[in-house]
């Protein structure tokens, strides 16, 4: 007779235990990648990174649009140049345009970066932009 009363109590305790276990392991989980390192699958981290990427792309596309305008202005000046300088300036300008397109592609591919890569990626883009911007400003120096 006592066993019949204990079975529902035990079943209730087991069900409650399973319920607590399931609620404690919400959206945050982890797994191992190919190298064996633990990788977080926390959706809030991914949402935050996605927000940062969207903001990053918006800001950098505006900066690159301004740089494109500067390059276009310099291109008009190069077209007016004459002699040996014109050929040198055209080569420099072509190089600047190539670097600008490469940088534009990097910004477009920002969504492919992981949280671990994000800080280094932003620093790299910033350095490349700074270098490219200075080269555009210095296009006519020493020529």
pLDDT at 42: 55
- Are residues 78 and 86 in contact, defined by beta-carbon separation less than 8 angstroms? yes
Which own/partner contact pairs does 89-94 have at CB distance under 8 Å and 24+ positions apart? 89/139, 89/140, 89/143, 92/135, 92/139, 93/139
119 has a pLDDT exceeding 50: yes
Report the residue count for the chain: 143
- Are residues 77 and 93 in contact, defined by beta-carbon separation less than 8 angstroms? no
pLDDT at 3: 55
Domain definitions of the chain by residue range: 44-143
Report the predicted TM-score, pTM, of the whole model to 2 decimal places.
0.65
Q: Sign of dihedral through CA atoms 48, 53, 54, 60?
A: positive
pLDDT tens digits for 83-113?
888 999 999 999 999 999 999 999 999 999 9
pLDDT tens digits for 56-77?
999 999 999 999 999 999 999 9
């Amino acid at each position: 007779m006592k066993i019949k009363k204990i079975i529902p109590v035990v079943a209730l305790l087991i069900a409650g235990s399973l319920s607590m276990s399931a609620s404690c392991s919400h959206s945050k989980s982890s797994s191992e990648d190919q190298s064996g390192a633990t990788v977080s699958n926390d959706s809030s981290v991914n949402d935050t990174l996605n927000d940062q990427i969207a903001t990053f792309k918006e800001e950098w596309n505006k900066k690159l649009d301004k740089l494109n305008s500067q390059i276009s202005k310099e291109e008009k000046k190069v077209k007016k140049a004459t002699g040996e300088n014109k050929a040198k300036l055209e080569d420099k300008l072509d190089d600047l345009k190539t670097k600008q397109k490469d940088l534009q592609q990097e910004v477009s591919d920002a969504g492919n970066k992981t949280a671990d890569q994000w800080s280094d990626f932003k620093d790299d883009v910033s350095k490349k932009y700074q270098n490219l911007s200075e080269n555009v400003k210095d296009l006519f120096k020493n020529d």
